[in-house]
A and B are shown apart, each in its own frame.
Chain A
């Protein structure tokens, strides 16, 4: 019995090392330096200060927070709009087809996301494929501005993060009892009504999990804003990156990161207060 336990520990060990070394330690380090003072040459002076946190609440940086939340919110909303019909359509297919289709959702992960962004560049630009085709067909006369603006940012965000919405939603939807749907339609409920009264409530954990997985990274994916947004907008990701790489103000960058972690934690706490279970967030 005891040796079995030892074996178990032996196999869990890498995970413990991994989590503490690569996740916990850096986070503690970030928390620590967020109370330090910057020497503005990339170094830090280890005197305790909360000035960094006071600076975060400057009107300029608050507006960066709001802009980021706005973009992340729209991205999450569009991802939900696309994912529900997609997931519902898939769940009616044969198990084998379902597996194949879900694998296809994962395929883009095999390529680096930065490279995929450059792929979008070729598609979306003024002389890009989409504009060429539309102009060739006579649908438009002037090329559309599909990037270096908000549209480009949203396209990039939704494209990159969509799988994170589809996967949890899919595992939620596949647990919905088909008999319930049948009963609902037997009792005369319209398809819309069945969706809102039966499917949505039962898939809420998946929906929330997906939203969290889309919303949080959307606050920080600075490379999408830089490439498809033409670097004209600053979201939290850019702001944090700038503190570390151009302003040489690591403590301030750390403080912004900690505030970001707090915001994310607040969302999870709100979810629990509303009756959600943490287990559901772990996926199926």
Chain B
């Protein structure tokens, strides 16, 4: 008898587990799918408090993961996403995005027009910029005193096992292409072969590929040179003021993350409210202070302190943006990059 009791309890628990998640709620919600570590929790809590809208927040760590999540989930699962430039283009092509109604956004005028009307979404019909990022070389000047101005300088044998790179095939292969004078988005097999040889030559100097927290390598002095996103570099600088930032002469990789509403989103008016809230000068200030990417909000720019403004890692100079390159959609050729990546590793 006792056994039956036991089994029944387990059985009930199991069925409860199977059936859980079938409940419904009436409170206003917005389902946000965003990059991990991009908006501080406090901003989301104060949005909830101010509007009474509950934010269901989930994250991704690459554009492809965002694409996979949105396209494999039931239509209307997500109300707001933050894809980068080339992913916006892909999503527009695949008709995955709703047209944005800018009249629903009171604060849209806060955006700096310099960042609007990009080639991936002319006229900003589907997306609006959130923040910008660029790759940068960060060097710990406590240990490295050589002049570094080019990606080629990273090949120096002195840096054996001392360089950290972002774990992103398009960015790192792109860097190798730029170092050798090619277009960062080329699909020319000969150019890619050159890039491969260059990376194999660089490999002994590579300590690790890490996208989650490359700044930790600099902070813990595990590596003294890193190629990483600007905000990560700026955060590392907060820990060690002897870290110098170098934008190499060949140009940097750029990335612009954008607000976009997936097709069929069920809570669009809440999504607009969320976008509008983030476009507010004081809210954007809080976000930028936590994650010092390049701010694209004109009204916020005047509120930011000199710590941010005078730091070229966080406040990327306009000349760098003008000479930088975006990752472009290369369609089927992504296969070549993927194979090359397997060869390097």
Q: Are B343 and A60 in contact (CB under 8 A)?
A: yes
Report the contact-size class of chain A (Cβ under 8 Å from the partner): 20 to 34
Asked if B220 is an interface residue, CB under 8 A from chain A, the answer is yes
**Cβ–Cβ < 8 Å partners of B203 in chain A:** 232
**Cβ–Cβ < 8 Å partners of A196 in chain B:** none
Q: Are A125 and B338 in contact (CB under 8 A)?
A: no
**Minimum CB distance partner of B8 in chain A:** A11
Interface residues as binary, B97-125 with A (CB distance below 8 Å gives 1, 0 otherwise): 00000000000000000000000000000
Contacting A at CB under 8 A, from B1-27, are 7, 11, 14-15, 18
Min Cβ gap B176→A in Å is 16
Q: Are A246 and B14 in contact (CB under 8 A)?
A: no
**Cβ–Cβ < 8 Å partners of A232 in chain B:** 203, 206, 208-209, 345
Report the Cα distance A233→B221, complex, angstroms: 22
**Minimum CB distance partner of A244 in chain B:** B68
Asked if B90 is an interface residue, CB under 8 A from chain A, the answer is yes
Report the contact-size class of chain B (Cβ under 8 Å from the partner): 35 or more
**Cβ–Cβ < 8 Å partners of A43 in chain B:** 71, 94
Q: Are A58 and B338 in contact (CB under 8 A)?
A: no
A248 touching B334 in the complex, CB below 8 Å, given contacts A14-B11, A14-B15: yes
**Cβ–Cβ < 8 Å partners of A249 in chain B:** 334-335, 338
- Which of B59-67, B149-157, B260-268 sits within the interface? B59-67
**Minimum CB distance partner of A233 in chain B:** B345
**Minimum CB distance partner of A228 in chain B:** B208
Q: Are A125 and B64 in contact (CB under 8 A)?
A: no
| Residue from the list A126, A244, A248 in contact with B222, Cβ < 8 A | A126
Report the Cα distance A245→B161, complex, angstroms: 28
Report the Cα distance A127→B94, complex, angstroms: 49
Q: Are A246 and B208 in contact (CB under 8 A)?
A: no
Report the Cα distance A43→B67, complex, angstroms: 10
Q: Are B220 and A246 in contact (CB under 8 A)?
A: no
**Cβ–Cβ < 8 Å partners of B147 in chain A:** none
**Minimum CB distance partner of B161 in chain A:** A145
Interface residues as binary, B54-77 with A (CB distance below 8 Å gives 1, 0 otherwise): 000000001011011001000000
Interface residues as binary, A244-268 with B (CB distance below 8 Å gives 1, 0 otherwise): 1111110000000000000000000
A40 touching B335 in the complex, CB below 8 Å, given contacts A64-B342, A148-B207: yes
| Residue from the list A42, A58, A242 in contact with B341, Cβ < 8 A | A242
A234 touching B345 in the complex, CB below 8 Å, given contacts A17-B18, A145-B161, A148-B208: yes
Asked if B339 is an interface residue, CB under 8 A from chain A, the answer is yes
**Cβ–Cβ < 8 Å partners of B343 in chain A:** 60
Q: Which of A60, A145, A246 has the most CB of B within 10 A?
A: A246
Asked if A179 is an interface residue, CB under 8 A from chain B, the answer is no
Asked if A231 is an interface residue, CB under 8 A from chain B, the answer is yes
Asked if A243 is an interface residue, CB under 8 A from chain B, the answer is yes
Contacting A at CB under 8 A, from B277-293, are none
Interface residues as binary, B175-204 with A (CB distance below 8 Å gives 1, 0 otherwise): 000000000000000000000000000010
A248 touching B342 in the complex, CB below 8 Å, given contacts A40-B331, A42-B71: no
Asked if B210 is an interface residue, CB under 8 A from chain A, the answer is yes
**Cβ–Cβ < 8 Å partners of B345 in chain A:** 231-234, 238
Q: Are A242 and B68 in contact (CB under 8 A)?
A: no
Q: Are B67 and A230 in contact (CB under 8 A)?
A: no
**Cβ–Cβ < 8 Å partners of A125 in chain B:** 220, 222
Report the Cα distance A126→B208, complex, angstroms: 13
Report the Cα distance A42→B343, complex, angstroms: 23
Asked if A61 is an interface residue, CB under 8 A from chain B, the answer is yes
Report the Cα distance A58→B71, complex, angstroms: 30
**Minimum CB distance partner of A250 in chain B:** B68
**Cβ–Cβ < 8 Å partners of B334 in chain A:** 40, 246-249
- Residue positions of A touching B, CB distance < 8 A: 11, 14, 17, 40-43, 58, 60-61, 64, 125-127, 145, 148, 226, 230-234, 238-239, 242-249
Instruction: Give 13 new A-B contacts, CB below 8 A, not counting A58-B339, A245-B64, A246-B334.
Output: A14-B15, A41-B93, A41-B94, A42-B71, A43-B94, A230-B207, A230-B208, A231-B208, A232-B206, A232-B345, A247-B64, A247-B334, A247-B335
The 11 listed contacts between A and B (C-beta, < 8 Å) are: A11-B7, A14-B14, A14-B15, A14-B18, A42-B67, A58-B339, A127-B220, A231-B345, A234-B342, A242-B341, A246-B62
List of 9 A-B pairs having minimum Cβ-Cβ separation, nearest first? A230-B208, A231-B209, A234-B345, A247-B338, A40-B332, A231-B167, A148-B208, A42-B67, A14-B14
